[in-house]
Structure 1
Amino acid sequence: MKELAIYLAFIIFITVIIPIALIKGYDLVMKDEKKIERVEEEYTVKVYNTKTGKVQKMKLEEYIKGVVAAEMPAAFHIEALKAQAVAARTYAVYKMEKYPNGDPDHPQAPLCNDVHCQAWLSMEELLDRHSQDWMDKYWGKIEAAVEDTKGEIITYNGKPIEPLYHSTSGGMTEDSEAVFANALPYLRSVESPYEDGAPRLRDTVEMAMDEFIGKIEGKYPNIKLTKETLPHRIKLIERSESGRILKLQIDNQIVTGREIRELFGLNSTNFTITIVKDEDKIKIETVGYGHGVGMSQWGANGMAKKGSTYREILKHYYTGVEIEQLRMEN
């Protein structure tokens, strides 16, 4: 009887217990596979291509390589490229969290390949824009900058920031509320002293006085100017601490520096208007290039050449932030 009981127990073990264990194990594997697929899915970005009108799907890290190549000169120091990679990755995550179903301006996807979001170029576009020699020289460097910072994002109070960036600040970045609607604690004005060599650090736009007056009156019908009255009817009302013009009074109307920048295609709102009467022209001199908020790309390169790491660069330009590993929810 004892031998029979042992034999029956063995048969039950073989025919019932082991299959159940195998099924459970298979179920766990399947769950893990589904979990992996879900995580990979969350790391996939959707980008609306403004040229083709189609949505492209790609892995986050591959997308970041195309952004770094499009947004920053590949000849920059590797630490500057790493800073750009982390900023670009953070911006992508920020947009995907804010607009999971699509940006209001392009509801097909949270991101686009244009400067409305951040520029992105495919390998084919990079080859068309540059050359195979450029690809051979720089693509490995871009890949290294992205892979060495894989999954890293910038956070403030544990949440991804909106990491705005621009080409050249002209010596000091700008507070966010001086340019955009919101005052963000991590987008504060900071010094950016290492921008020597930036091609658009300083620029001059010249035009005839009649052209200047025509553009002003075309934009603001209530303003009336003549060559004789012009010198007395342009007054500076307010500059920010960084030197950018916030408000001007032209004749009887208050206009913003941002409006004047857009009207005349200026590089920045840090400008000076000079009336050259004997030459019958207007000269507008600008300092910096871009909106001036967040990270200065040329400043980042300057810091990198002075020995700063990408983390130090990011923490300089974005106040009170942390660099964290991107965590996906299970």
Structure 2
Amino acid sequence: MKKIFMRLGALALLFAWINYSLYLKPDKSHAKEPDIQQLNDTNDKTTLPSEYQVEVTQKDGSVQYLALDDYLVGVVAGEMPLSFEDEALKAQTVASRTFAFSRGLKVDTTTNTQVYLTVEQMKNNWKDEFDQKYERLKNIVSSTHNVVMKYNNNYISALFFSSSNGKTENSEDYFASSSVPYLRSVDSTWELSICPNIERTSNFTPEQMKAAFNQDIEDIHIVSHYDSGRVKEVSVNNQIYSGREVRELLNLASTDFKINYDGSQYIFDTVGFGHGVGMSQYGANGMAMNGYSYEEILAYYYQNVEICKL
């Protein structure tokens, strides 16, 4: 009887070891997101996968699989100037990591998701400074390893843009979607004094305006604004366009614009660059210059989110 119990005990240990080994081995056959809640529920850090992979679709349609941290180095290099402060770069890293997870770790290399630079492109851009800048970015990414943002236990849509007009925009006021609780308009004046070309002017001939709106322009004027100061509605020959529609038709820098006509051309003066929703990149750098940490920057631009580790 004693031998039987010993054999049963040995078999139990064997099965336990097999199950434990299978649990420790991460599945890297594809970019499927792991069970984050399960990982958070355990104190055994050895169960965390050593690295996540991102499925990146190139412009030619080919697909590349990259380790998440390697991907983020290329994203931050493409999305934010390296003249920015470390804390701003860290905030961008966390926003970009969260954005990738919100897309199921499937992205492309354009502004449709996030700009990504390859190592070769970084070498071409930075020349003799490549080693120094690449090492700096690796340290930035490593210092925020696996940090993400969640709202109601879901990865947030961590939208960001270049610079604001002094305020960010409510999500529904640009994207015509339902209100997103963490993408609320907040004051963002830091960039106003540090962002080059925050004010821009675009000129259009009557022929260019006709081509854009598919009609001769007899009258064009702004009808209304959002609380952020951005244009809500524009009347073109008594036809109403949204500020976003006008921006996209004319490829304007932002939806904060004024319209003038000098008798020969239409003049659009804009403030800021981008859609205005989420984190202002120049605003983040201004906050970092004033001593704010990356966590404080993120908590400011993304309201009431949880900043946590995977």
- Whether TM exceeds 0.5 here: the answer is yes
1:36, CA displacement in angstroms?
2.7
Which residue number corresponds to residue 147 of structure 1? 142
Which residue number corresponds to residue 47 of structure 2? none
Is residue 320 of structure 1 aligned with residue 304 of structure 2? yes
Q: Deviations over 1:88-144 (max 9, x none)?
A: 1101111108xxxxxxxxxxxx3112111111122122213x133232231122111
1:199, CA displacement in angstroms?
2.5
2:243 to 257, 262, 284: 257
1:190, CA displacement in angstroms?
0.5
CA distance in 1 between partners of 2:196 and 2:69 (Å): 30
Is residue 84 of structure 1 aligned with residue 92 of structure 2? yes
1:192 to 180, 188, 196: 188
Unaligned runs of 5+ in 2: 35-51
Secondary structure of the equivalent of 1:38?
coil
Secondary structure of the equivalent of 2:148?
strand
1:29, CA displacement in angstroms?
4.1
**Cα RMSD (Å):** 2.3
1:20, CA displacement in angstroms?
6.5
CA distance in 1 between partners of 2:107 and 2:212 (Å): 35
1:37, CA displacement in angstroms?
2.5
Letter in 2 for 1:150: H
2:20 to 23, 32, 36: 32
Is residue 117 of structure 1 aligned with residue 113 of structure 2? yes
Q: Does the CA contact (< 8 Å) of 2:212 and 2:250 recur in 1?
A: no
CA distance in 1 between partners of 2:24 and 2:117 (Å): 28
Letter in 2 for 1:75: S
Matches within 5 A, 1:15-30: 17=6, 21=10, 25=13, 27-30=15-18
Which residue number corresponds to residue 42 of structure 2? none
CA distance in 2 between partners of 1:215 and 1:243 (Å): 27
Matches within 5 A, 1:212-251: 212-218=208-214, 221=215, 224-225=216-217, 230=218, 233-251=219-237
Is residue 61 of structure 1 aligned with residue 69 of structure 2? yes
Decide whether aligned partners of structure 1 residues 93 and 136 sit closer, same or farther in structure 2, where only a CA change above 3 A counts: same
Matches within 5 A, 1:90-101: 90-96=98-104
1:296 to 269, 280, 283: 280
Which residue number corresponds to residue 5 of structure 1? none
Is residue 157 of structure 1 aligned with residue 152 of structure 2? yes
Is residue 201 of structure 1 aligned with residue 201 of structure 2? no
Larger Cα-atom Rg: 1
Letter in 1 for 2:102: Y
Letter in 1 for 2:258: T
Letter in 1 for 2:286: G
CA distance in 1 between partners of 2:194 and 2:239 (Å): 38
2:167 to 169, 172, 193: 172
Unaligned runs of 5+ in 1: 1-7, 98-109
The number of residues matched between the two structures is: 287
CA distance in 1 between partners of 2:19 and 2:116 (Å): 35
CA distance in 1 between partners of 2:258 and 2:142 (Å): 43
1:175, CA displacement in angstroms?
0.4
Q: Does the CA contact (< 8 Å) of 2:213 and 2:249 recur in 1?
A: no
Q: Does the CA contact (< 8 Å) of 1:215 and 1:263 recur in 2?
A: no
Q: TM-score, normalised by structure 2?
A: 0.85
1:156, CA displacement in angstroms?
1.2
1:254, CA displacement in angstroms?
0.5
Which residue number corresponds to residue 103 of structure 1? none
What is the percentage of aligned positions where both structures have the same residue?
36
